[in-house]
Amino acid sequence: MHKTCKLCPRACGVNRDKSLGVCQVSSTVKVARAALHFWEEPCISGENGSGAVFFSGCPLHCVFCQNEEISHGKVGAEITIEQLSQIYLNLQEQGANNINLVTGTHYIPEIVESISIARNAGLSIPVIYNTSGYETVESLQMLEGTVNAYLPDFKYMDSNLASKYSHAADYPDVAKKAIAEMVRQCPEVEYDDNGFINSGVIVRQLLLPGHVNDAKSIVEYLYGTYKDSIYLSLMSQYTPMAQIKEKYPELDRRVTKREYDTLVNYAIELGVTNAFTQDRKVAKESFIPDFLEGCGCPD
């Protein structure tokens, strides 16, 4: 599958044993960090934390990426599928509420195999697939039966914005189809007795400074299409990173309270009730985990 890789919509067609595609990682699984993670939605993190596995590399490469070292595949450890399975089991042993697979698009076959191995070895907590939303339907279909809940972004409705900030003019169409497939697989949000997600789809919208109208279009589309069968997560945590100052000065600020309130009020006016909102205090650079400390992978 990695010999002429078309796992994601970039469809590079490269042999990842010999050269790199847009995702910037070879066919060997590379993990940047695996640890309990406390900064997801409450139904995912809770007090114990989610068992987050941050994969190195990314097919999207947003210009405002908060984790460029990881998304460009520069940090992380290459591991076997068996080691990846053991990571899941270790996280469960540490008390994780779930396994939270962060940006695993370019390793979907390995994710399916490693989760299967871990399930046979006693992994019993839900598996959450945490993604940019830039996924092919065919790749998502490989995850059916492996993933319990999906946590996709919906970043842009305007393809000009998607082109400018993620070099992916097809993002809006791709994300719509991807989310439809996720909802097909997980049609209702279900929680366990403690309020942790067992199944379903939560769609995240990270509000960008100056782009409330695009965010409103996304909320309107999602609510109009899926009503209460999905949850929305309206995020105010956008943090300007150093790399955007020169080329994208319009993104070099945080989202204002007024912008965020406008978006939240719009969702309320539409009738959205199944939604998570954020305290703007989370938008501090210090809130971004330090991914360079070591990946937490087994030796």
Q: Shortest Cβ distance from residue 107 to ligand SF4 (Å)? A: 8
Q: Which is nearer to ligand SF4, 136 or 148 (CB)?
A: 136
Q: Which tokens go with 42?
A: 């409450």
Residues that bind ligand SF4 (CB under 6 A): 5-8, 10-12, 14, 16, 21-23, 59, 106
Q: Shortest Cβ distance from residue 28 to ligand SF4 (Å)? A: 13
Q: Shortest Cβ distance from residue 109 to ligand SF4 (Å)? A: 11
CA 9 to each of CA 106, 134, 208: distance values in angstroms, whole numbers, following the listed order: 11, 7, 23
Q: Shortest Cβ distance from residue 16 to ligand SF4 (Å)? A: 6
- The H or E element containing residue 70 is helix 68-71
Place of tokens 């970039």: 10
**Nearest residue to 59 via CA among 3, 111, 134, 151:** 134
Q: Shortest Cβ distance from residue 130 to ligand SF4 (Å)? A: 16
Whole-angstrom Cα distance, residue 276 to residue 113?
Answer: 32
CA 168 to each of CA 45, 157, 165, 171, 196: distance values in angstroms, whole numbers, following the listed order: 30, 12, 8, 5, 33
Dmax (CA) for the chain in angstroms is 52
- The H or E element containing residue 77 is strand 77-78
- Residue closest to ligand SF4 (Cβ): 21
Q: Shortest Cβ distance from residue 85 to ligand SF4 (Å)? A: 21
- Classify residue 101 by burial, with Cβ atoms within 10 Å: 0-12, 13-18, 19+: buried
Q: Which is nearer to ligand SF4, 16 or 33 (CB)?
A: 16
Partnered with residue 55 across adjacent β-strands are 31
User: Cα-Cα-Cα-Cα dihedral of 95, 41, 134, 280, to 10°?
Assistant: -140
Q: Which is nearer to ligand SF4, 153 or 259 (CB)?
A: 153
Q: Shortest Cβ distance from residue 63 to ligand SF4 (Å)? A: 17
